[in-house]
A and B are shown apart, each in its own frame.
Chain A
Amino acid sequence: MSLSSRMAVVLTTVGVLAGAFLSSIGHLTKERIALNKQREIEKAIIQVVPGTSSNQSLYEEKKLTIYGGMDEEGALLGYAIHATGAGFQDEITFMLGTNIDLTRINSLAILEQKETPGLGAKITNMESFLRYWENKDCSQPLSLRKPAASSPEELSPSEINTITGATISSEAVLNTVNSSLVKTRELKEDGKLKLEGKNAR
């Protein structure tokens, strides 16, 4: 066999064998990876809409998915808004829980972020950021308190404390929360956030 045809045969064989091996590995792990993602989302929904026993995806677009959290009888308890927006270094993905009227935020959970460790990454910290999102009035756009208030009692019902040294990360979360709330409200007014199936009210 000439050298060039031997080269072609070897490279093709290596490529085909590698491809076949990888496709079987991909097939074996695909389900589990999808399941992991789904589990993570379910856990976050339960966290931000307390009492949820089942959920339903009500609306989906590229960087915004809205879930309805339901109790055992299938009645809607609140919305869980899964949104992604620009952060300081990379996108920040969170799950935001609201009541049915979209006037009150239950709580916020950060799912993915690559902010600066020790500074912006504090957005995942309960003590320095997340607790300010609990039970907030969101009937009007939320705002940031800067410089940060020393105690949560000083904040108005629609104010969030800024993380000292991480204004950009705090603002990034706030802006995505506000814009996703506006969008969710629009969708709700257009009647696009209805539960489907036998659980519909």
Chain B
Amino acid sequence: MPARTASEDFTKGLWKENPVFRHLLGMCPTLAVTNAMINGLAMGLATTFVLVLSSLVVSSIKKLIPSQVRIASYIVIIATFVTVADRFLAAFFPPISKNLGPYVPLIVVNCIILERQEAFSSKNTISRSLIDALGMSLGFLIALLVLSAIREILGSGTFFGQQVLGTWFEPWIIMVLPPGAFIALGILLGLANKIEEKSKSRR
């Protein structure tokens, strides 16, 4: 892996290696919880918490773990932080915990987290892993927010629960249902590909 600067470690998660728009990872929470801004935000922050702490732990004990049992160890570490996030939400933000339902415990199987451990934290220093995890989490959070903004505005006429479209607007209920998630994500992915193509041809 070529040596990179810290800012490159951070910004690659935002666009070039954006987990949702470029790598198509973590599709389950991306599609499932983006029906409202508050849910997208909570899921993004919970994933950030898990990813950053898991990367921190994995990169600091990477030399101690024999490669044969690394996946099992990573999963135990990730599952620990996921459970912490789940209990924390249930204790301090019960309405959000209720909205997200099983999707908080399901962060365990979010590919983004295991992929970052396998592809980055297990090979790089603690500080680089931390920066990488922060960048990736921010990229994921932004993707969730963009998707949930589109779905909430069109599907409920609201933004973070506040009415933004007038009473003339008949909400497109399909946008807050699963098909709306696929439609919105599909259009965004198409756009992302188009932008990438343009910027490549310019280079």
Contact = CB atoms under 8 A, between A and B. Distances in A.
Nearest to A36: B94
B177 A117 contact: yes
Interface stretch (A15-23, A56-64, A69-77, A146-154): A15-23
A11 B177 CA distance: 42
Interface in A1-30: 3, 6-7, 10-11, 14-15, 18, 21-22, 25-26, 29
Interface in B37-78: 64-66, 68-69, 72-73, 76-77
B187 to A, nearest CB: 20
Contact residues on B (Cβ < 8 Å of other chain), bracket: 20 to 34
Interface string B81-98: 001100110111010001
Contacts of A187: none
B84 A32 contact: no
A6 B67 CA distance: 11
Given A6-B66, A7-B66, A119-B173, A25 B76 contact: no
Contact of A10 (B73, B84, B88, B90): B73
B173 to A, nearest CB: 3
Main DSSP-derived SS at the A contact region:
helix
B69 A29 contact: no
B148 interface: no
Interface residues of A, number: 23
A22 B83 contact: yes
A29 B77 contact: no
A126 interface: no
A21 B90 contact: no
B45 to A, nearest CB: 17
A97 B38 CA distance: 31
B127 to A, nearest CB: 23
B80 interface: yes
B65 A10 contact: yes
A186 B98 CA distance: 33
B31 interface: no
B176 interface: yes
A39 B108 CA distance: 30
Contacts of A112: 98
Contacts of A117: 35, 155, 173, 176-177
| Shortest beta-carbon contacts, A-B, top 4 | A118-B173, A29-B91, A32-B91, A18-B80
Given A7-B69, A11-B73, 11 more contacts: A14-B65, A14-B73, A14-B77, A21-B80, A21-B84, A22-B83, A26-B87, A33-B94, A117-B155, A118-B171, A118-B173
Interface of B: 35, 64-66, 68-69, 72-73, 76-77, 79-80, 83-84, 87-88, 90-92, 94, 98, 101, 155, 171, 173, 176-177
8 contacts: A7-B66, A7-B68, A10-B64, A10-B69, A10-B73, A11-B69, A21-B80, A118-B177
